[in-house]
Structure 1
Amino acid sequence: MTDTLWYTRCPVPTASGLAHSLGWLGDTAARNGLAFGVLQDAGPELAVRHFDHTLPGLIREGGNVPALAARAQGSPTRLIGLTWIDEAQAIVVGPNSPVTSAAELAGVRVGIPAWARDQARSFPRAMALHGFANALRPAGLTLADVRIVELGVEPNPQVRTEIQHRERALTWGVAELLDGTVDAVYIKGAHAQEVAKEHGLRVAVDLDVSATRALRVNNGTPRPLTVHQELLDTRPEAVIGFLAQTLRAADWATTDHDAAAEVLQRETLSGPAGVIAAYGTDFTVGLHPSLSPDRVELLAVQKQFLYAHGFLAADFDLDSWLAPEPLEQARALVAAGQVAA
């Protein structure tokens, strides 16, 4: 039985990240007799578990590519929640590019990050491929209608501290776009918005204006909360407490908007303008996790895309991955006012 509740997340808006910043997750672990650890603060031997999710005691909230790839590889995880937060996905071109629409992407050179060390860590490639596929579809085009140029990537990305994150480029392909190696790249999130503005990049296709959510499915939409099966089996009360504090943090964000904005700036490694540009002024919408049928269906769209493009070692039954009971019990605790402050 594990004696530590481990937590990891990506540099994106999450209610669990808010709860961690407020100190609530560590308190929950302590109340359940567990130590509390954060992979971002751990050494490289543990940090890799962010991608393969084989660490007993681990709860992860982050991109769905590593989560789905780990499950397909056989990692003993369960899906305990999904969020949906639109985060400024776009296809951008250089300042002087004539491309202004999806139809005009036909025949252009698009930057796609190369494969990393394994499928889970190849999430930049998966994001770009799905981003372009979604952008092209309304124009009646497919990935076969563009010229893919592979971009160099870090083959073994690691979870990092905030300072280390700020020291690395978080937007793949901007350098190649500016030097003329490619004609268009996919970007998403707050930091990418800041980078695009800094270099005068233009939006050729704004994926967020699509009325069809299926055309906005990607690594962060929807975003999963997963738990190692051992922690769920042996310490279910800790998992329920974690989720209760996550729900409480999502509620808090709607009542203290300015304080939540400051936390999200740290979580997304961006300034105020980047957060607003990526997530809008009502950025707290979607922070509450659920396993609603529509979110599960949208995750199924992503799973199918990843499987078809080689990002999953095997297909698997999505419904068998779901564990809805902890979230249901956490909601009951919050509704009854039984979540310790």
Structure 2
Amino acid sequence: MPKTAVPDTLWFTRCPVPTATGVAADRGWLAGEFAADGIAVRSLQDADPGADRAAHYTHALPGLFREGGNVPALWARSLGERTRLVGLTWIEERQAILVAPGTPVRGAAALRGLRLALPRHPVPIDFWRAMALRGFEGVLASAGYGLGDAALVDVPAGGRDGQWASELAALRRGEVDAVYVKGALAVEAARRAGAEVAVELDDLPDPAHRVNNGTPRPLTVHQDLLDTRPDLVDRFLSVLLRAADWAADEPAEVARILGAETGAGAEGVAGAYRAGTHRTLHPDLSDDRLGLLARQEDSLRAHGFLPEAVDVRSWADPEPLRRARLLATRAGAPRQGPAPR
């Protein structure tokens, strides 16, 4: 379409995790930003039944902004979808290795020789499996081991199973020795299963060992929208910066929003997100974060999740975020989020 064309709708999608997109949506700021232009801003999660919800994974929707896990984002780019990486966040979202009640396994080195659960979901990109694989890989690497030093056990997941239900059931039956989980719902699932924590990945000092689907978490937009209406992209990103800035002063409100986004109760949210999470929603494209995402790309490709290589640094376009910061500064300078610890 010509550069002067105005789309009827801008779409956004995000994962059920801490995101500036989720905060901005809750505050009504995304809709408010574009109302005067006659542009509707809609959530893909709340769209009509006929909407292409698979676009959350494929990003095959030119007017879509996506803030979510890096496995589907890298996969879509690997398949040739014309997306651009315009931001990355690093948010510590509880990752843990669980074992059966009464099991004496504690610490990364203790996973050597154990049977590790790898779920298998019947979906085009099995990000659940990728997360478990990367979680175990990071933990073992922190102790000087590799995946070959443990036994990887496939655990088929039923379509109606809740998150980690199949793996925790296999743990309960004694078919596996350890399960990887992450996030607010994981806290609640572990409690229901009576499982015990063998390793807290958040305590691993090297961020490279904590790299996974959500660390770092990409913010992507379609190249078509960038080519035709870069001004809309800049304004959208400026709203996200405003939302991240607001969140930095509102821990209680962010906790409420996280409860709604994740579907978890207060205990799950408090157990999954450490104090200070509300100050970590600012996206950037720092060299550190790009390097950590490149590590993720290397691993995903090595394990067969990506059909083609993705050059992370070439995929990244820092200009929209730079311009968005200038827009946001006019309304009050946005804070910069901390680098990965």
TM-score higher than 0.5 here? yes
CA distance 1:115–1:267, shift in 2 (3 Å): closer
- Name the residue aligned to 1:37: 42
Residues of 1 paired with 2:240 and 2:82: CA distance? 22
Letter in 1 for 2:245: D
Asked if structure 2 preserves the Cα contact closer than 8 Å seen for 1:28 and 1:238, the reply is no
Question: 2:137 is matched with which residue?
Answer: 133
8 Å CA contact 1:80, 1:322 repeated in 2:
yes
Conserved? CA contact 1:15–1:247, under 8 Å: yes
DSSP-derived class of the 2:279 partner: coil
- CA distance in 1 between counterparts of 2:30 and 2:18 reads 16
Any idea what SS the aligned residue of 1:323 has?
Answer: coil
Equivalent of 2:240 in 232, 243, 246: 246
* 2:299 aligned with 1:305: yes
When the two structures are superposed, what TM-score results if normalisation uses the length of structure 2? 0.91
Determine if the alignment matches structure 1 residue 169 to structure 2 residue 162: yes
SS at match of 2:280: coil
1:280-299 superposed matches below 5 A? 280-299=274-293
Q: Deviations over 1:126-151 (max 9, x none)?
A: 10001001111122221111111111
The Cα RMSD (Å) is 1.8
TM-score, with normalisation over the residues of structure 1? 0.91
Quick one: distance in 2 between partners of 1:184 and 1:44?
39
Corresponding residue number in structure 2 for 1:70? 76
Counterpart Cα distance in 1 of 2:46 and 2:156 = 27
Task: Judge which range, 81-90 or 96-105, deviates more.
Answer: 96-105
Residue in structure 1 matched with residue 112 of structure 2 by the alignment: 106
Deviation, 1:28, is: 2.2
Matched with 2:92 is 86
Structure 1, 202-211 or 24-33: larger mean CA deviation: 24-33
| Residue 145 of structure 2 is aligned to residue 144 of structure 1 | no
Rounded Cα–Cα distance in structure 2 between residues aligned with 1:4 and 1:79: 21
Given that residues 92 and 274 in structure 2 are in contact (C-alpha distance below 8 angstroms), is that contact kept between their aligned partners in structure 1?
Answer: no
Spell out, residue by residue over 1:257-298, the C-alpha distance to the aligned partner (whole angstroms, 9 max, x if none): 212211111112111221121111222132000011111111
After TM superposition, the structure 1 = structure 2 runs for residues 173-322 of structure 1, keeping only pairs within 5 Å, are 173-322=167-316
3-state SS in 2 of match to 1:203: strand
| 2:52 alignment partner, SS class | helix
Deviates more, 1:322-331 or 1:170-179: 170-179
Of 24, 29, 45, which aligns to 2:29? 24
Alpha-carbon separation, structure 2, partners of 1:287 and 1:131 = 22
Please give the alpha-carbon distance, in whole angstroms, between the structure 1 residues aligned to 2:204 and 2:84.
31
Match of 1:329? 323
Is the Cα contact below 8 Å between 1:85 and 1:285 reproduced in 2?
A: no
Name the stretch that deviates more: 194-203 or 6-15: 194-203
1:226 maps to amino acid: T
Structure 1 stretch displaced more, 253-262 or 54-63: 253-262
Letter in 1 for 2:82: P
CA distance in 2, matches of 1:187, 1:81: 25
State the AA in 2 paired with 1:3: D
Supply the distance in 2 between the matched residues of 1:230 and 1:154 (Cα, whole angstroms).
37
Relative distance call for 1:110 and 1:228 in structure 2 (3 A) is same
Please identify, of 243-252 and 74-83, the stretch whose mean Cα deviation from structure 2 is larger: 243-252
- Do 2:250 and 2:278's aligned partners in 1 also have CA atoms closer than 8 Å? no
The answer to whether the aligner puts 1:15 opposite 2:8 as a matched pair is no
| Unpaired stretches in structure 2, ≥5 consecutive residues | 2-6, 334-341
| Number of residue pairs the alignment of both structures matches | 326
Deviations 1:25-74 (A, max 9, x none): 12223244322221112236510111111111011000000000000000
Contact 1:32 1:237 in 2 (8 A): no
What SS is found at the alignment partner of 1:81?
strand
CA deviations over 1:83-126 (Å, ceiling 9, x no partner): 000111111101122211222222221110125332xx210011
User: 1:219-266: CA deviations, max 9, x gaps?
Assistant: 000000000111111121221111111111111112222122111111
**CA shift at 1:168, angstroms?**
5.8
Residue 69 of structure 2 contacts residue 214 of structure 2 at CA under 8 Å; is this kept in 1?
yes
Contact 2:230-2:320 within 8 A present in 1 as well: yes
The residue type paired with residue 178 of structure 1 is R
Corresponding residue for residue 339 of structure 2: none
